[in-house]
Amino acid sequence: MEPRRSGRGSTGGGPGVAYSLRIENAAGMSRIPASLSIPSSTGPAIMSSLASDTPCDTYFNSMASQQSSIAPDILNTQEMRSVDLEPVEKKCFKLINEKEELQVKNAKELLSKMGCSSDKNLYIKVVSIFGNTGEGKSYTLNEIFFNGAEVFKTSANQSSCTLGVWGAYDPFTKALVLDTEGMLGISNSSKQRKRLLLKVLAISDIIIYRTRAERLNTDMYKFLAEASRAYTKYFRGDLEAVARKAECDCIFGPPVFIFHDTRHTNVLTEEMGQKPEEQLKENFTKQDLKIDGFNSIHYIGERNNGRDTDFKRIKKVVFEELSNINVRSPRQPKIILDMLDTINKKFSGQIQSSEPAFPDEYFTCTSVCEACQSRCCLFMNHYKHDNGSKHHHAERQCKYHHKFDNKVFICRKCDSEGERRLVVPKTASAKDSTWLGLAKFAWSGYVLECEKCGIIYRSRQYWYGNESPDRTVVKEEYQHVWQGSVMGSTAHAGRQVLEGMAALAKVVSAWLTNQVNPTYWKPNHLCTHCKICQVGLDTIHHCRKCGDGFCDPCSEDKMPVPELGWGEEPVRVCKNCYKARNSETGQVEDYEWSSDAQTVRARQVTEVISGTLATVAKYPLDFLKDSARPSYWVPDDMITQCVVCNAEFGPRLPLHHCRACGQGVCSSCSPNLRSVKERGWDHPVRVCNNCIK
């Protein structure tokens, strides 16, 4: 049966109007989607052909042959029943704004903006365009994919420029087309904008670089080379991880199409057997630039001589590449969105440096070593992806700075065997007790001890002729000093002496006062927890009324207890006894402790003597404490609050130092003890909650 032809719709579509072709068979079922776009210039001709009696099979067959690589069975003219020619309206949507913020929440919203909400098994490719501002990127995409319809807005104004990244979906080629902001435009955040371009380039399957410069300039070569480096160094690992998780093909570098449009200058052509692509690669090599991240590079040059630009060649090669699945296969929109979201979260934030080393400056951590000014080479926000640990790393060695005392020692023997073991000067070895270690330190000086080799050096091992350790047993290195880190010498012999004296004085005082406790007091060894709040007791306070053991807050009240021999002066009592004495029904019972009167008086005398001795010993210890402070400890006068809980230090909240970081902490935020061998503390010492994690 000869097909019947009928036409509907406008016959004179002007600029910005595309046509959709619908062909139905005898059963009324559509053989092709409403996605076959016909140039507006040929729309009236088709309508005229449809209205005449001459067959139009020739036209449709030629069109099908041109686009058969993308949709080989998109037309079958033998089964045509009717042809509808209607304008198609397409809209673009903002994918990322100028602040690098994704404007699409999830894959469902992306499909909705693309106009493909009903297609759950859609696989697409991403095509993006780059170039300097004013090069006509939006117009180029409209011509290639939408036959001149103004899907991406264009303007003749000087100030007009695409802000952020805009997208539109072409259902015929199944391509998500991305229009990007032009480079070299006027902007207060040009560094962030260029980083955004590189992130979009990384998730693209096809890259078009549009230039209308009469001659290819250095900006194009540098941008492509730096984009290639950014892709391989910063993006590829994360993109492959998302691809593996989604069980899709591995990601290879995208192909690049350089679309060069000139008016007066000849474009690149084959010269002396050398293709334009080979000439481009040679130019990259001459400038010592690499483009290893891209799968291939192609050149399409058009000299228009003042006429309108011809987009046929660039359109043909882009469409052929879209149909090629040997290098990059189509992906689901969800996978593309996950890839973009992953690298967008990883590389974000302000770029602080005024002279960036593009592209590293756009993607690496902003921390700088205070000693040598080297920049951290890890990626931005790396501590957010690494359990919150703010460790940094620089590619070059640091320099010594006396302010930070950043010199460290490495065991020379272990280093020669391929192992890096840090050794620090300390007063005693790990096997020596505190007092024995101090005695050895007084006789033979500080010690260097390796975890594997044991004691490798003592500063005064011989009466004379002791060599410097860096010449014999250790190798000197200099550590980087990052913001917030505390460096300094680990020598703390003076601090250990003071702590030993304080501990000894505390033990002697506790033993002495325990010998003269009244008989009605509960023995010290039985007072492990406060009777009221049940907190563990470090310092025991006895109530003068009931004789039980309490913590300081639960026994801070005072009242006279004359019935037990304490006289008329107020003395320490627990809260329970204080409330009972001052209650309305509380009755004072007359106790006769004649047998304890002598021990009570002895206790009073002992308290006066121990208090006097503590007061006398306190001032020289406080004076020596600062001079014996390890250099990595923060000075007391610079500490106002706990580094963990931010509680302010005062008479009721004493200051302690964490032996690991040297910061000031309260006792509640430093209840744990552990050895800190990197600081020379081999035995368990106080460590704050931040360092214990």
Tell me how far apart the alpha carbons of residues 298 and 206 are, in angstroms, rounded to a whole number: 11
pLDDT at site 7: 33
Q: Phi/psi zone of residue 601: left (φ > 0), alpha (ψ -120 to 50 degrees), beta?
A: alpha
Largest interatomic CA distance in the chain: 136
682 assigned to some structural domain = yes
Domain CATH code at residue 590 = 3.30.40.10
User: Which of 399-408, 504-513, 626-635 is least confident?
Assistant: 504-513
Q: Which of 432, 448, 478 is the last residue of a domain?
A: 478
Mean predicted confidence (pLDDT) in 162-179: 91
Q: How many other CB atoms are found less than 10 A from the CB of residue 437?
A: 22
Is residue 321 located within the same domain as residue 279?
A: yes
Show the beta-strand stretches assigned E in 180-249.
Answer: 206-211
Confidence of residue 314 (pLDDT cuts 50, 70, 90): very high
Is it the case that residue 53 has pLDDT exceeding 50?
no
Is residue 467 located within the same domain as residue 514?
A: no
Beta bridge partners of 423: 409
Is residue 304 located within the same domain as residue 241?
A: yes
359 assigned to some structural domain = no
Mean predicted confidence (pLDDT) in 58-69: 40
Tens of pLDDT along 78-118?
Answer: 333 333 334 445 689 999 988 888 999 899 999 999 988 77
pLDDT at site 16: 41
Is residue 424 located within the same domain as residue 537?
A: no
pLDDT at site 327: 79
Is residue 411 located within the same domain as residue 281?
A: no
Confidence of residue 535 (pLDDT cuts 50, 70, 90): confident
Is it the case that residue 689 has pLDDT exceeding 60?
yes
Is residue 65 located within the same domain as residue 121?
A: no
- Give residue 81's Cα distance to chain centre: 60
Is residue 280 located within the same domain as residue 234?
A: yes
Tell me how far apart the alpha carbons of residues 201 and 79 are, in angstroms, rounded to a whole number: 43
Domain CATH code at residue 319 = 3.40.50.300
Residue burial 295-333, b: 16+ Cβ < 10 Å; e: rest: eebbbbbbbeeeeebebeebbebbbebbeeeeebebbbb
pLDDT at site 688: 92
Burial environment of residue 215 by CB neighbours within 10 A (0 to 12, 13 to 18, 19 or more): exposed
12 assigned to some structural domain = no
pLDDT at site 511: 65
pLDDT at site 256: 95
Of residues 9 and 490, more confidence is placed in 490
CB 109 within 8 A of CB 178: no
User: Which of 66-80, 108-122, 239-253 is least confident?
Assistant: 66-80
Contacts of 613 (CB under 8 A, 6+ apart): 509
Q: What average pLDDT does the chain have?
A: 75
398 assigned to some structural domain = no
Is it the case that residue 493 has pLDDT exceeding 80?
no
104 assigned to some structural domain = no
Of residues 536 and 211, more confidence is placed in 211
Is residue 78 located within the same domain as residue 124?
A: no
Amino acid at the residue 81: R
Is residue 304 located within the same domain as residue 237?
A: yes
Is residue 329 located within the same domain as residue 430?
A: no
683 assigned to some structural domain = yes
DSSP per-residue letters across 417-462: TT---EE-EESS-TTS-HHHHHHHHHHH--EEEETTTEEEEETTSS
pLDDT at site 261: 92
Residue-number span of the structural domain to which 601 is assigned: 495-624
Of residues 22 and 502, more confidence is placed in 502
Per cent of the chain over pLDDT 90 is 23
If you count them, how many residues does the chain have?
693
DSSP 565: T
Q: Which of 478, 509, 526 is the last residue of a domain?
A: 478
Record the tokens describing residue 545, joined without a space: 């009324």
Is residue 566 located within the same domain as residue 640?
A: no
Of residues 652 and 441, more confidence is placed in 652
Is residue 166 located within the same domain as residue 310?
A: yes
Nearest one of 303, 313, 12 to 143, comparing CA atoms:
313
pLDDT at site 50: 41
Of residues 203 and 19, more confidence is placed in 203
580 assigned to some structural domain = yes
User: Which of 292-296, 514-518, 529-533, 682-686 is least confident?
Assistant: 514-518
The tally of domains found in the chain comes to 5
pLDDT at site 365: 78
Is it the case that residue 245 has pLDDT exceeding 50?
yes
353 assigned to some structural domain = no
